[in-house]
Structure 1
């Protein structure tokens, strides 16, 4: 736990009882870089409050008022989702100053029943929804200020990423489109397309590595710390991804192709049942460059 994390944890400890005093609150946690001990000068405090029933506006706003906090520019928001288990109420406020100078506090208000449903959807029904995977990754690593029993049940239920789900992720993210578009976009000076192609391939390879380690993918933030947790990965994977994304195309394209081959080899070794045998041929396919015109058709 670094110093930047510890003093933020201390602030969160002061905030948590203001939410925990409500009878319908089951748990209060902090997550993200602060919970993991990775905070830096950019870090805010991400709190999640789990409720038995939807919180009222008065209940949500009373805490920031009691703390004398400065309101955030985006106010208090209810986020609806096509999947109702992903609904939540979100607010932000600032301590020690306004949005230009203070410490940002992000608070997500979730229903415990919705979290139960998310855990079941992923672990029992192998739901591939990215946000649900991020929620399970996070719940296993939170710092709990109130409601240990509830949080520990979710941590235990989340467990490892189920093997059928991990296999699906490996198959989907190694069966990639042909990589020739990287060279074509570089030659055409299409910088945005070139960057998007490289970033997408690198992200998908990262997702494969996380799945091979039977973990839930939390997104690309904090890539170095995420990979530090992974036993199965190519040598210097984090550094090589960063180098490829910063290099010129003549260096970056073969570097990404090499990373693909190494990740594929690891998948064959650790998940031999995955349906990926034809994936490298598709990925490495090169569209021919036609510099001379064809003969006219008869």
Structure 2
């Protein structure tokens, strides 16, 4: 039995308990367990969609559930349970709120991270049960078409990758902690943009947790993306920064080819903007990415 099958079997009673609870429209298995690529570190994600706000008692119908969100807060609510050490995260949402979120993201093209996470979860969803499974199937059909307007909105929001000059500053200061933070910030923006260009939903960094599988999914992307991303966080600082610089420039090439509506010249100008150090009289090393 592989890791995904083990988790599907273990969580089946939880899905059944929620599916039979009054007020529930549908339940769904999500995440890596639903996709079939879980590993031994993977938790299990369960979505429960309600016709009305649930009480705490209704949310805790499955055994060993630990409440995470107070009852009087608004949808969604989060609870957690452990099945002999297997972590299960349960997200409860009102079906009406899901509809509102899909309208906001898919129709109004609002790049809301929580909404994008919901859509990503719906696309992955499997083992749908409850009295109204057709509701989830309807949401999945809507999510199957990624709007071009949403791609443009996300690229315009996350495409301006700025202050790359900080890399040289932090390398000269020998500050690997802040350098890593800057590299991660820019990498997250780059990957968010590439997902949007490729019509893939992503709402947070965990969407990028399997680099090789991600590279396979991103048809329009810089070559050898996974290998080069690993270099960004493993190569010596000057090389790492230069690899990221090249990845960003090539990502802008991809945007130009796939989304000509976006003003890529403006994105490049902002990315290439420099800040020159002053004073001291000591010759500084050449800028990151340039030959001495």
8 Å CA contact retained: 1:80, 1:88: no
165-174 or 24-33, larger mean C-alpha shift = 165-174
C-alpha separation between the residues in 2 aligned to 1:272 and 1:61? 50
Count of matched residue pairs: 276
Unaligned runs of 5+ in 2: 282-292
Query: How do residues 92-241 of structure 1 correspond to structure 2 at under 5 angstroms?
Result: 92-96=80-84, 102-146=85-129, 147-221=132-206, 222-224=209-211, 225-241=213-229
Q: 2:244 aligns with which of 230, 253, 256?
A: 256
Q: Does 1:287 align with 2:286?
A: no
C-alpha separation between the residues in 1 aligned to 2:68 and 2:254? 45
Post-superposition Cα deviations, 1:74-129, rounded to whole Å, max 9, x if no partner, equal x4423888xx6xx2222112222xxxxx2222211111111111111111111121
Partner of 1:296: none
Using the TM superposition, give the Cα deviation of residue 177 of structure 1 relative to its aligned residue in structure 2, in angstroms: 1.6
Query: How do residues 45-64 of structure 1 correspond to structure 2 at under 5 angstroms?
Result: 45-64=44-63
- Describe the shift of the 1:80–1:283 C-alpha distance in structure 2 as closer, same or farther (beyond 3 A): farther
8 Å CA contact retained: 2:161, 2:271: yes
Partner of 2:30: 31
Using the TM superposition, give the Cα deviation of residue 27 of structure 1 relative to its aligned residue in structure 2, in angstroms: 0.8
TM-score by length of 1: 0.86
C-alpha separation between the residues in 2 aligned to 1:42 and 1:17? 24
TM-score by length of 2: 0.88
